[in-house]
Structure formats: C-alpha cells, structure tokens
Amino acid sequence: TELDTLDIIVLAAILLGTAAYFTKGKLWGVTKDPYASSFAGANGKAGKTRNIVEKLEESGKNCIIFYGSQTGTAEDYASRLAKEGKSRFGLETMVADLEEFDYDNLDAIPNDKVVMFVLATYGEGEPTDNAVDFYEFVTGEDVSFNEGNDPPLSNLNFVAFGLGNNTYEHYNSMVRNVTKALEKHGAHRIGEAGEGDDGAGTMEEDFLAWKDPMWKALQEKMGLDEREAVYEPIFGIVERETLTKDSPEVYVGEPNKMHLDGTPKGPFNAHNPYIAPIAKSFELFSVKDRNCLHMEVDISGSNLTYQTGDHIAVWPTNPGEEVDRFLNTFGLTDKRHQVISVKALEPTAKVPFPTPTTFDAIVRYHMEICAPVSRQFIATLAAFAPNEESKAEMTKLGGDKDYFHQKVNVHHLNIARILKSVSKGQPWISVPFSALIEGVTKLQPRYYSISSSSLEQPKMISITAVVERQTIPGRDDPFHGVATNYLLALKEKQNGEPNPTPFGLSYEITGPRNRYDGVHVPVHVRHSNFKLPSDPTKPIILIGPGTGVAPFRGFVRERVNQVKNGETVGKTILFFGCRKRTEDFLYDKEWQEAKEVLGDNFELVLAFSRDGPKKVYVQHRLKERSKEINELLEKKAYFYVCGDAANMAREVNTVLAQILSEQRGIPDTKAEEIVKNMRAANQYQEDVW
C-alpha cells in the first residue's frame, strides 16, 4: 500500500538522521532522545535567526508565507498555501510566524522570491497579538529599511490575503493597511489582496476563490510551471518499540517539557497553560435542555494576574467518542497507545505538539478533530480513498462548492464523520498520518470574558459559559461544542460525580498522568482593552444579553466593591436580555444585592424574548430609554456592548445612532459620525464574538 512505501521512505530518512546523530551527536554533546521534537521551554525560541534573508538563504527557500493569526485559521491557511505552492508549482515554501522575524531588511529579499502575508484582523481593527510589531513597523510614519533602495521595497514581490468579519467596523483593516503600506514603499503586489469574511460565513469559499487567480498571476510573474500535484509528507512518523505510554519521556497530553517533568512554572501564556484548580461551579439556567455554567478558577498558585474585563482561555480536550471515531476511521484503534516520534522532514516545518507521544494523545489533546473541514483537505484526501467509488465522491465534494455545502456543512460533519459516510464505514488506512497532522488544525484554546472583578477577587477568575448544543437536521445525535461540554463534565466532577458523561460524552478528565485530578482545568489569561473608565464617577451604559452579561457582572461587582471601599461611583445602567425570566435569567439574585449597595445608581433593564406575545430585545429597551441615554452620553457616559457580534452588536450600534439623531435633532449621518468618534475615543467599547 501507499502507506508502506511511505513508511519505508520516512524510515530511511530517519535512519540517516539517526546515523548522523550517533556520529556527530556525541561530539556536539547532544544528549537524550534523538527523535524528540523541541518543546523544551514554554516558547523554545532560543538561538534562531530573526533575519528573514538569512533564513531564506540557509534553508534554500524562495517563498515565505507569514501569518498573523489569533485563533489558528490564518496559520492554517498559510500552511495550506505552502503545501499547494510546493506540490503544484515546485516552489520551495516555508511558513513563518510574524512574531519571529525582524522587518528592517524586507528590502533585501531578492526579486526572484515571493513573500505572502495571511493576516487576520482582530477585534476593533487590531492586528493579532503575533502581528503587532510587524504592523507597527510597516505602517509606521518614519519606517526605515536597511538597504536604502529607492523606493525602498522595489524588489519585494508580495501576495496578501486577509481574514476579517464584516460585522465589525474595521473590516479586514489589517490586510488593507498592510497592502497600502507595502505598495507605498514600492513593493509589487501579485494578484488581488484577498479578503475572507467570517461575518457572512464565507471565509473558506472566499479563500478558495481568491487563490486560483493568485496562483495564475504568480505563475506568470515567476515563470512557474504547473506540475501534477504530488503529495509529499512534511512529517516523518517512527514507531518507538522500546517505549510505552508509561515511559517517563513520553508525552501523553502534556503541553510542554515542564509539564512532562511535573514542574510547570510561569510565565503562563498561549504556549504554556496553568493547570488551575476549579474552586466552585454551578448551573445558572433553570431549564431542562439548556445549560449555562458558572465556574470559579483559582489562580492563586500561579503568577497569573487579571483585570476586570480581561479574557481567560480554556484549553479543552476532545470527547472520547470523537477520539475513538477518528482513530477508528484511520485504522489506528489498535495502535492508539503505540509510542511514536514525529520529525519534521524539512527544516522550516514545526511539529505542532511535543514528541515522543501516542496517537491517542495527539488526537485527544492536540487536534481540532470536531471542527468543520475545508473543501481543499477533502480534495487532498481523495488520493488516499479506500476504493474508487469513495475517491470519486471525494473529488466531487472537493470540487463542487454547493454539493459540499449540502452534504457536509448542513450536517455539521467533522472529518471522521465525513470519511466514514463517504466510504460507507470502510476504514481509510492509506492516509499518511503526516497528512492528518498537516490537514487538521491544532486544537485551540477557547476564550471567555471574565465575569469576576479583580478588585473583589484578584486570584479567582469566574467564567460564564453557555453549553453549545444544536440539533442538526438529518442527524440523530446533536452537535456538541468541544470546550463547553468539557467544562460541563468538569462541573459535574467538581460537584461530586466521579465519572461524568454529560450527553453521553466522556473525557479524560483527570488529564495526562492524572495531573488534572482534584478537578483542574488548563488556562491562561489574555489581557483586553475592554475596561471600565479610569474615573469611577463616570456613568456607564452596559448592553449584555445572554452570556454577553459576563464581563458586566465583573463591572457591577467592581463598582459595588468601590462603594464598599468608600469611593463614589457614577450611574450604572445594565440592559440584559434572555428568553424567559424563569429559565435563563442570569445572576438574578446578584443584581438585587448590587442594588442594595448601589441604590438608585444602579438600574437593570430587562428584555425577554419569549415571555410575552412580542419578542423584546435589548435594542428595543435601549430605544425606549432614548432621552435618558442621550443625557447620560452628554455627561460623558461610557457605552459598552458584549455578546453576539452577528446581529445584536450591529443593531445596538444602529439604534444608538438613531437615538442621537432624534434626541439632538441632527441628521443620521452626523449621528453615525458621533458614534464612530465615540468608538475611536474608547467611549464606545465592544467585546463581541
């Protein structure tokens, strides 16, 4: 089979590497495991060059694909471009994190090379965390490059694609501003600067539609010949017969070396979670088939800090049933605990998890196996189908957007479910495991708006999360969200259930080597700009329906504690909405307690969508309060919106402009201008998802 041939090639490559290790390794004083991938520290970046030109030269590459990524999608697109460039056009591609290079020598990249930028826009038109420095550099007023060419970037050929969301004001501003800046300095754009729209739900199709003409333009510019696409694995897999899953050097889900050694220490961040005890957890809804969790996470054993309005990231694990389905689909069930080492077969590729490890640990802790699948990946897997019929079906799915939508998207199918349905249950044993590492994205932490106040409890973070569950037409089992159902299981465990299986889902809840036992959850904190005014006497208007109320619970508790400390606080008016007072009214009692302390300075305005004959939403209530809202804004009130980005946040924005226009007797355009200026001045802040 193809797997056998591949294994032999890979094995040969690794044997060569091993021979090199035995001859040179000793001389260099290299110790320990020759196959282990380097996840030594939290970041493991020591000793790497930050010089792009040097990196391209030493690795023999002619195409570098930079990504600015927050949730992993841009990173995933970057690696897909790299793979396609290599397999279709023989480009020597490499993918690079923008954070890991300097930019003052962008002008020294020769014009027979191409630089691609895949850039997500985050929040209010901001760069992603890893792209901040790059963005400030290239769009800077007095940017200066090393070579002194005129214009400075006249040798630079670039390609650009942006990931954005049209429900935000600054749609795709990253790719737009970066393209503008590069062109201003004389760089040559190849093809259009593409824009994907998450708001319209067309990101994947926008990407696919953009890339074909881009490849054409690049082919012409660089004189590339298209060849029959051949799959070449990026990773080599070696079975380690001498190790078992219990050997101390084997990773069974630990995120890095410190965790493996049992000595995790800070800084805790997106590369290194803190395994935090859950101090308290309970259900917030009083209705049978929907759940919303309140969970208190204790960070006192760490050096983590937070401020009211920040986000906490939860690192989930996949449910056992989906792990089983995935392993079974690829014929790996019997080998699930087999220890393997994974090595990048080319120098610029990174193994996305630490090894040696097991198939089970990779699938459970490191792969987003439940997520939607890209059409491109389906097309790639056609070559490894178990029979001709399945291959034809995969090719059709990969090539026909409408067919794919109707067969896959509508039913919320994940990769294993699609393949099983295409092959009518026959396993896909010819798929090289490397293709799965390349094609399935890394399991991402999920963010939650912290719902506690750091003034009240600096070392205890609370989460308010609604459990994702959807009934899907044509499917007998509902769709379950990864992180929230894992949190639900943790909640049940924390409340005394020894083996929780919410909705029939089971989790490795005690974590790798039982280190999460005693009910722990891996987390880190992400600082946000969503903040109370520094002057507590300023009035605040809070719009937070559903779990959008999370950060406002923190805001209100903060003000209650300020008053208890003898401070004067301004008016707080909170608009909360949900379906029914008796079912999903969050923190009902707490608002009454806040009222006792804040008195007339606190007002809760409620909107129930299913309690009466008419659906009432927060934006309706806001409109009813036009006069008061306008007066508060004239007193420089801060305006905050949290929750649903797709509809609510946009409508609230529109309603606010209407209020200003009516109350102040000014034209709509003028009122919209004022709202824009409020946003620019941070007087209007959003925390939406």
Binding residues for ligand FAD, rule: CB under 6 A, are 311, 316, 370-372, 412-414, 446-449, 464-466, 468, 481-484, 547, 550, 689
Q: CA angle, 66 as apex, 63 and 68 as ends, to 5°?
A: 165
**197: annotated active-site residue:** no
**687: annotated active-site residue:** yes
CB-count exposure of residue 337 (10 Å: 0-12, 13-18, 19+): middle
Smallest gap from Cβ 483 to ligand FAD, in A, equals 3
ω into residue 267 within 30 of 0, thus cis? yes
Task: Give the active site residue among 449, 462, 528, 661.
Answer: 449
Task: Give the active site residue among 63, 292, 370, 642.
Answer: 642
Longest distance between any two alpha carbons in the chain, whole Å: 83
Percent helix, strand, coil in the chain, to 5, is 40, 20, 45
Q: Which is nearer to ligand FAD, 684 or 689 (CB)?
A: 689
Tokens of 635: 């007193």
Q: Which residues pair with 639 in a beta bridge?
A: 541, 684
DSSP string, 495-512: TT-SS--GGG----TT-G
CB-based contacts of 444, cutoff 8 Å, min separation 6: 71, 72, 368
Smallest gap from Cβ 464 to ligand FAD, in A, equals 5
Integer CA distances (angstroms), 278 to 172, 310, 494, 520, in order: 38, 19, 7, 6
Asked if residues 508 and 493 have their Cβ atoms less than 8 Å apart, the reply is no
Residue with CB nearest ligand FAD?
481
| Sign of the CA dihedral with 309 first, then 313, 319, and 320 last | negative
Asked if residues 224 and 91 have their Cβ atoms less than 8 Å apart, the reply is yes
- Pairing verdict, β 114-122 and 126-127: antiparallel
Q: Which is nearer to ligand FAD, 372 or 399 (CB)?
A: 372
Q: Which is nearer to ligand FAD, 80 or 446 (CB)?
A: 446
Q: Which is nearer to ligand FAD, 457 or 464 (CB)?
A: 464
Q: Which is nearer to ligand FAD, 233 or 544 (CB)?
A: 544
CB-based contacts of 225, cutoff 8 Å, min separation 6: 89, 90, 219
Place of tokens 């859950």: 278
Asked if residues 414 and 322 have their Cβ atoms less than 8 Å apart, the reply is yes
Q: Which is nearer to ligand FAD, 341 or 484 (CB)?
A: 484
Smallest gap from Cβ 481 to ligand FAD, in A, equals 2
Asked if residues 50 and 102 have their Cβ atoms less than 8 Å apart, the reply is yes
ω into residue 545 within 30 of 0, thus cis? no
CB-based contacts of 397, cutoff 8 Å, min separation 6: 375, 378, 379, 403, 404, 407, 408, 418, 422
HSE, side-chain direction, 13 A CA sphere, residue 327: 21
Place of tokens 């051949």: 230
Task: Give the active site residue among 107, 310, 584, 687.
Answer: 687
Task: Give the active site residue among 215, 428, 591, 689.
Answer: 689
Structural Rg of the chain based on CA atoms: 27
- CA–CA separation, 442 and 315 (whole Å): 11
> Active-site residue numbers?
449, 642, 687, 689
